[in-house]
Amino acid sequence: MTDLNEFIKEADRKSPFVKFEEGIPVTGTYQGALVIPNTFDKNAQTVEYTLEIEGILKTFTSQAVNLAKQLLKVKKGERVKLVRTGESFKTKWYVYTGDEVDEKGGEEK
């Protein structure tokens, strides 16, 4: 019988969605972005981003203009480290590329 913690860890690993935890870096290969209708407000738009993490394509959505501006500079196929801090209107995103991807931590730059 599989341990419940192992089950959850494996489910998260296989999930098609990126899971961001406060201040914990997520590293993957940037695959691009697509502007899509907002699920909750059909008059608004949001951005769906795709990362490849451990060979699995994973997506996440965000309306954060700050994140869009940072990821606009990232090329498809480039390794990237993303860090989210705060919640709701106090959310901040930090995007690291190049040598910064391999540096420890989720410090602000």
Whether residue 109 is predicted with pLDDT greater than 90 in this model: the reply is no
Decide if 79 is inside a domain: yes
Decide if 8 is inside a domain: no
Neighbours of 42 (CB within 10 A): 8
Q: What does the pLDDT look like over 25-61, one tens digit per residue?
A: 999 999 999 999 998 998 999 999 999 999 999 999 9
- The domain tally of the chain equals 1
pLDDT value at residue 58: 97
What mean pLDDT comes out for the span 64-92? 95
Decide if 10 is inside a domain: no
Decide if 107 is inside a domain: no
Decide if 58 is inside a domain: yes
pLDDT value at residue 107: 45
The enclosing domain of 22 has a CATH number of 2.40.50
Domain limits at 66?
16-102
What residue has token string 């500079």?
73
Decide if 4 is inside a domain: no
Reduce the DSSP state of residue 53 to 3 states and report it. Answer: strand
Decide if 1 is inside a domain: no
Separation of alpha carbons 10 and 67, rounded Å: 28
Decide if 3 is inside a domain: no
| pLDDT bracket for residue 108 (50, 70, 90) | very low
